[in-house]
Structure 1
Amino acid sequence: MLVSSRRKALIYSPLLLTLFVLNACISPGQPPAPPLPPLEKTIPFTSADADFLHKLNDMDLTQIALANIARTHSARNDIALLSATIVKELTENKDTLTQLATAHTLTLPTQPSTQSQKIINHMKHFRGLAFDRSYTRYFMSSTTKMKSVLDAQITTSKNTDLIKLSNDTQAKLTAYQAQIK
């Protein structure tokens, strides 16, 4: 019987040692975990911010549609090549815009406005040099108007996401204008 109790002691001693170690880790004297920091509150959109989102969304949709037309209707290779970049970058811009709007429970249209759609339909009828003249004229005038809207948004908005989007869009439009001239 002495051998079996010695055997039990050898078997149970690592188990007991493990229980003592685990018991030491779970002591009632541990302080509670600190509270989590409060989440950053986003600045709600003002009516001017919502109006800006709609204008920028319409500009993106219109410029994407016109750039798609420019791929096949333009006589100038630089415009045809730039149109692929415009489509890609303004689609990304529009996706960011949609995310911002959704975060603030604002729904943006997926189609250009009626006035913009008339311009798109009108531009579909031109090809070659006539398309290039019309497209260049429209692009320069519309981006110049949009830049003033972007400037106003940068100076008046308190929403940092909209300010960043405005700065990024303004830089893109400036680069496009320099290449189209």
Structure 2
Amino acid sequence: MNFELFIARGILSKDKNNFSRPIVRISIISISLGLAVMILSLAITTGFKDAISQKVIGFGSHIKITSFDLNKSFESSPVDMQQPFYPSLADSTGIRHIQVFATKSGLVKSEDQIQGIVMKGIWSDFDRSFFAKNIVEGDLITIDPEKRTNDILISKRIADKLEFNL
């Protein structure tokens, strides 16, 4: 007989006094409920963490290759696409997509509000699948490499702050 079973039989035996039996049962139920709540909260937290990670990665990326400089602003010096490592990256395992981008800080002004933003310029090779799943209002931007466009896609939070509607 193992030690745990020996202790359990000693505590819950029927020939002992009946005073401790309800106390032991209440404590067993309490510990079971507490453990179930902890397991459930851990599962929910892990699920939220995964969902938030996917959104952060969807708006940004896992890896960004930028020029090395001491510039602390959101605008970085451009990196030439003609790099020796660039063609071989697309063939590497684990890399789904490579795209070029540019960032620039700016201001968006409505009639009575001004909001600072960081604009992300994209090219025709932009992977639109994340934004297609998460767009709340409006349409995705259609990019034609032959002509310039003034279309923008802004977050729901900024649209609400600036009181923009479609």
TM-score of the two chains, using structure 2 as the length reference = 0.25
The structure where strand makes up a greater share of residues is 2
**Higher relative contact order structure (alpha carbons within 8 Å, sequence separation ≥ 6):** 1
For the pair shown, which has the larger CA radius of gyration, 1 or 2? Answer: 1
The structure where helix makes up a greater share of residues is 1
